[in-house]
Structure 1
Amino acid sequence: MPQDLTTPAGRRAALVNSLFVDHAALRTGWRNWGIVVPGRLYRSNHPQPWQLRNAARRFGLKTVINLRGHRPECGSDALSRAAAALLGLDHIDAPFESRGAPHKDRILRLAGIYASMQEPALIHCKSGADRTGLAAGLFLLLNGGASADALAQLHPRWGHIAASRTGILDAFFHRYAWDAEGRLPFLDWVRDEYDETALRAEFQSRPWADRLVDGVLRRE
């Protein structure tokens, strides 16, 4: 059922759900924080309310982009959404998936969000490794960066494992580099030439990496 923060009991239940069901206890000491573009865009795993307060105060955040999407039964979602409201931050849901070819419509929507949002902004998913890396790379490409810059946002230092199914996100940036970089602006390529179905058919993960990411790390 949706998390209810209007009562002390509801807030406690949301916190317990966040810490132990959504694994926020593991994120207390592991922030996975990064600077994408100083003063414009930052990245992290799903922030706890106090982490969001600290980041907003330190970096002057104006916007939070939640790459997990709205999850009414998730305590972390309810708590960070409420914290953003108290801090006066714009909270925007822009869901992506970590193991599938990025959807064209979601890329185009995020491009529109980036163009109109108040900066500085924070992007986050659950672990800050895969969807956050994708969204950070998209921001760089949309702001004059190269595919190599985008790929650097999908890196083991963030916990990203390219040999697993999440490596399809790397394959997306590689596909642009091979097919159109230097010939077409990134967003034109997405609109006119990017083929999600072909990317899914081409990409092959490694079983050992899938076991690590899905079975051991239990990534979302």
Structure 2
Amino acid sequence: MGRIERLLRGAPDAALVGVRRDAHAAPCAATLRQLPEVFRRLERPFLLHCKSGADRSGLARALCVLHEGAAVAQARRHLSLRYLHMCRASAGVLGRVLDHRSRWLEQGPSGIENWVRSGYDPEAAQAGFER
């Protein structure tokens, strides 16, 4: 049993929702499609957590604020050095997901769920980072 599960055992009203993610690769579209549904179901406030609390949780928070209608620039703040996200390290690929979203928006306004269904390309995000 992990540390978070042990903490939640004593909180009877707490729910644990797991979304598996790799910090060193662009998330697959299926993972990103899960998140809006998770965000809709969660009671506020909620805790986002990953092993280090910088990269995967930062991307999840960025996608959450995008889902709530924020601009990409505002979402990008959650993947920043302030939260210990190192954009030049291997986990920097997660920031490329937001770059991909920005390029998609150049075509016109589109909700995050539409982008994930129709326009998100994890291979392009990964390739853009590796260059």
Provide the TM-score with structure 1 as the length reference: 0.55
Residue matched to 1:150: 75
Alignment of 1:71-220 (within 5 A): 77=2, 79-88=3-12, 89-180=14-105, 182-204=108-130
Residue matched to 1:29: none
Query: Structure 2: how far apart are the matches of 1:159 and 1:82?
Result: 25
Query: Structure 2: how far apart are the matches of 1:121 and 1:83?
Result: 14
Query: Structure 1: how far apart are the matches of 2:124 and 2:95?
Result: 15
Secondary structure in structure 1 of the residue aligned to 2:10: helix
Query: Structure 1: how far apart are the matches of 2:120 and 2:28?
Result: 10
State the structure with bigger RCO (CA 8 A, min sep 6), 1 or 2: 2
- Which is richer in strand? 1
Following TM superposition, where does structure 1 have runs of at least 4 consecutive aligned residues deviating by more than 6 angstroms?
A: none
Deviation at 1:96, TM superposition (A): 1.2
Larger radius of gyration: 1
Q: Is the 8 A contact 1:165 1:204 kept in 2?
A: no
Q: Which runs of 5+ in 1 are unaligned?
A: 4-76, 206-220
Identical aligned residues as a percent: 29
Deviation at 1:204, TM superposition (A): 2.3
